Structure 1
Amino acid sequence: MSDETGGSSKGNDEIRGVRRGTAPVPLSVLDLVTVGSGQTAGDALRATTAIARLAERRGYHRLWLAEHHSIPGVASSAPAVVLGHLAGRTERIRLGSGGVMLPNHQPLVVAEQFGTLHALAPGRVDLGLGRAPGTDSATAAALRRGRTDGADDFPQQVAELVRFLDDDFPDGHPYAAIHAVPGPVQGKAPGGIQSPARPPVWLLGSSGFSAELAGRLGLPFAFAHHFSAANTIPALELYRHTFRPSAVLDAPYALIGVAALAADDEREARRQVRTGALAMLRLRTGRPGLVPTPEEAETYAYTAAEEEFAESWMANVVHGTPDAVRDGLNALVGRTGADELMITTNAHTPAVRLRSLDLIADAYALPDGPDDSGAPGSS
């Protein structure tokens, strides 16, 4: 393997988004498949499909799904499964994981899953990797079933996964005769035809560990600004300082996740954002549940400490009228130098999330493609 990054030519469009409309950087979407009070997981998955189709039509660059476990209000426990569904219901938008929590999985399984996704949607799949469990410690133990490798072994897991994706373990390696299928080995077989490309690998993080690793490997980096805002600028600075050009990138490329919600007026935006704040409050205090309704969030009896937490959480959500959200996102790009923004919207009602993405697209004059929401197989 020439390096640990793989992928295709430097600065390709699989990594570097194409600017659209008046946005200063490409805009993308992170979806958690959130389940609101009074909704089923099926309702949430249909909403995610609608969001993917709207994001494609409105010119968003990519849509990623996050991996979480044992949280009733988040149904994104199996990103690869949902991505396969979305691949069959979209045509152009990039789809990916934001991310696969690698310590929860064997690298070979991830390589097989994303090789399959790449075969279903060639040139449209991203593989974002994180080192956190995406859950609490007890659930992480259940996922890993006594395995001793974990976050500390993340660099080695990444290297092994990339070897499987590229099918290039050296002679004598214990895995030299093991192949991730679908994958490059099929092109090496007699009569085989296999695309040399494979999903580009991203590293995700909310601290400096993955930022430094992404820089050393020359990989694109995605930072979770939406829940670790205080660490954003230090992590991006570390990533840029440690970056080494690779076969993938000749310069750093940093995406940041940002919570944002646009509504027709400021009061309604605040009312909707409050639901996410209450859901997060319950999660952080060991009471995870479904995303509450706006009415429940308005009538909840907050203690002084809970009110302080909710207000602090809401302060990190760019919300308000479309123009206010556009200005807030532009200011965030100015402060961080981010190369791409990935918007996540935590609200009870799918229609509110869809409307927010539409309003933000309007504020940036993103292109509006044909409305195919009524096409067969759209749900």
Structure 2
Amino acid sequence: MAAPRTADDRIRGTARGEAPVPLSVLDLVTVGSGRTATQALRTSVDIARLAERRGYHRHWVAEHHSMPGVASSSPAVILAHLAAHTERIRLGSGGVMLPNHAPLVVAEQFGTLEALAPGRVDLGLGRAPGTDGATAAALRGGERSGEGADDFPQQLAELTAFLDDDFPDGHPYARIHAVPGPVQATAAGGVQSPARPPIWLLGSSGFSARLAGMLGLPFAFAHHFSARHTIPALDLYRDSFRPSEALDAPYALIGVAAFASDTAGEARRQVLTGALSMLRLRTGRPGLIPTPQEAEAYAFSALEREFVDGWLADVVHGTPDEVRAGLDDLRKRTGADELMITSNAHGADARVRSYGLIADAYGLPDSAATPN
């Protein structure tokens, strides 16, 4: 194959400071107690701007539904907003839950995003619903109500064909085109960028790892909520990998929960809010992210304390140097090519500051965005 291809040409030109691999951001657009979705979305802009200024490589937004504490139900809408407030950082979905959507709609949305922010849009795809079964059924109403994770490979193939505008002759969709997209270059006088959003597969177990490897696609693993499956899934991805037009060697990103503060005690205080929120979600009581005061005052049962302690064991938190050491150890153990950090806590200022402190720990440069 020609010159090596990887995710973003092996992260060409990324300023990493002392970071051994690129650092990125996973944003759940969390809504804290006493705060609004409007404020949460403003915080996402603040995080994206800081991430761009400090040399993080990409900022992804996750798709979740029917969760009061997570305002990222519409990734494409949020990404368009972030594109208007940034200049260089890559933006993408971490991910779009493909079974919830018609592939043509996803191709149109991300073709539009690519037109808004040329050359810096990623299309990360998941096969889970990002919600409970009843909500998934509501999302997939009408003729698509029977589709689900088992149909994912077929939906992925359909989406890829829409993005590339290459359904074969005789296919029912051969005369249907995703616009913006390659068909515009074939019209009289048409000029269309050859770029289209690269596809990533996301997963928290082995299915998507194997599929990503077989298709030669970059792979993102949800270590932040499936830590015990991380190394087996990455091994499966690498063992299954076949070079493709998109990628000539495996490229694995892992999502990791990390939070830095000036003291280890304050970091623990902040991440406890996210742990309590997850406990409530897992026990059927989803709500807003509690305040640190509420989390500290909560009377955990022995079983609840066991869950929270187990959850926090997989969150890299502490002082900036402690977080750097934890992230470096995780990278060495997994061989990840990129670390995507999610810093979930109640306070907007604390979250933004955490990303800044992690950048400081790795010596990432602080530079203002350059205007076009």
Q: Report the TM-score when normalising by structure 1.
A: 0.95
2:113 to 112, 117, 133: 117
1:29–1:344 CA contact under 8 A, matched in 2: yes
Instruction: Report 1:1-379 matches (<5 A).
Output: 10-12=4-6, 14=8, 16-17=10-11, 18=14, 20-146=16-142, 147-370=145-368
Secondary structure of residue in 1 paired with 2:349: helix
Counterpart residue type for residue 255 of structure 2: G
Deviations 1:56-113 (A, max 9, x none): 0000000000000000000000000000001011000000000000000000000000
Counterpart residue type for residue 54 of structure 1: L
Partners in 2 of 1:63 and 1:158 — Cα distance?
23
Counterpart residue type for residue 11 of structure 1: R
1:36–1:292 CA contact under 8 A, matched in 2: yes
Partners in 2 of 1:292 and 1:16 — Cα distance?
39
Distance 1:52 1:225, change over 3 A: same
Partners in 2 of 1:14 and 1:262 — Cα distance?
28
Counterpart residue type for residue 45 of structure 2: T
Shift of 1:317: 0.2
**RMSD across aligned positions (CA):** 1.4
Shift of 1:11: 1.8
Partners in 2 of 1:140 and 1:258 — Cα distance?
26
Partners in 2 of 1:220 and 1:288 — Cα distance?
32
Counterpart residue type for residue 68 of structure 1: H
Partners in 2 of 1:269 and 1:85 — Cα distance?
30
Shift of 1:9: 7.3
Shift of 1:14: 2.2
Shift of 1:19: 5.5
Shift of 1:16: 2.9
Flag structure 1 segments of 5+ consecutive residues without an equivalent.
1-7
- Consecutive aligned runs of 4 or more in structure 1 exceeding 6 Å deviation: none
How many pairs does the alignment contain? 366
Partners in 1 of 2:340 and 2:265 — Cα distance?
24
Flag structure 2 segments of 5+ consecutive residues without an equivalent.
none
Shift of 1:148: 1.6
Secondary structure of residue in 2 paired with 1:21: coil
